[in-house]
Amino acid sequence: MEPELKAQWERFPSLPGTHLTMQKDGRRSWQLISNDGVVWASCDRPTFTDLKSVISASGWTCRWVQVTKPPMGDVALKAIGAIIKRADDSRDLVEAATNTFVLRVSGHHFNRKADSYLTMSNGTTIRLPVRGRNPKNGMMSAVTESGTTLIHYRLNYPRNSRLFVNGNNLVDIAVSPLGLSFPGIQFVVAVTCQCLSSYFYSGGTF
């Protein structure tokens, strides 16, 4: 691990702000929970960005709406559970009852390509740059176009452990003090919490 990146990885637990982890809640559902036990967001499926998933946060219940569909070949792959990496695949997260727009996710983090980004209801764009060469030293940030870092992420694999495809219970999240006041931050965390693990995924291997 590069010395500077290693130091950043090791300092992660001491970052200021609110720290979150993902925890399983029932047979298929997952929650994002802070260190003091507050549930930030929940999802009825293992993947928050699954088009069939329902995400609850801040008193809202939200669903996904496909905006730009990938080519038919990619649609067929998605139907059998594959992760699609095309940048022209975009999805809107909307409030389920009123269809109020929350945010848009465009593209995907996949096969070591950080192509996904978020567009918020106020027009703010959030990018998700990744640092590190493998899952055991990988780190990611959620950064606005003005350069404000909202969220930090790392994958916390136990020493000498195997690399598992499902990194849900291995992702550490730290919402920065500036991120805590960002409108819709709970939903930003929810739809990006699995991007770092999917960045290193390449269709069956890391």
The string of pLDDT tens digits covering residues 73-101 is 554 444 444 444 455 689 999 999 999 99
Burial of residue 159, with CB atoms counted within 10 A of its CB: 0-12 exposed, 13-18 middle, 19 or more buried: exposed
**Domain around 167:** 3-199
Place 135 in a pLDDT band, splitting at 50, 70 and 90.
Answer: confident
**What's the predicted TM-score (pTM) here?**
0.87
Structure tokens at 139: 């780190």
In a domain? residue 206? no
Q: In angstroms, what CA-CA distances link 131 with 2, 59, 137, 153, 162? A: 10, 34, 8, 10, 20
Q: Which residue has the higher pLDDT, 68 or 61?
A: 61
Which SS3 state, helix, strand or coil, does residue 118 take? strand
Q: Is the residue at 40 inside a domain?
A: yes
Q: At 115, give phi and psi (nearest 5°).
A: -100, -10
Asked, for residue 125, whether it belongs to a domain, the answer is yes
Q: What share of the chain is helix, strand, coil (3-state, %, to 5)?
A: 20, 35, 45
Number of domains forming the structure of the chain: 1
Low-confidence winner among 42-46, 95-99, 133-137, 200-204 (lowest mean pLDDT): 200-204
* Section 54-61 average pLDDT: 97
Look at 41-50, 160-169, 175-184, 185-194 and tell me which has the smallest mean pLDDT: 160-169
Residue 131 lies in a domain: yes
Position 157 pLDDT exceeds 90: no
Q: What pLDDT was estimated at residue 189?
A: 98
39: in domain: yes
Q: Are strands 113-114 and 149-155 parallel, antiparallel or unpaired?
A: unpaired
Average pLDDT, the chain: 87
Residue 204 lies in a domain: no
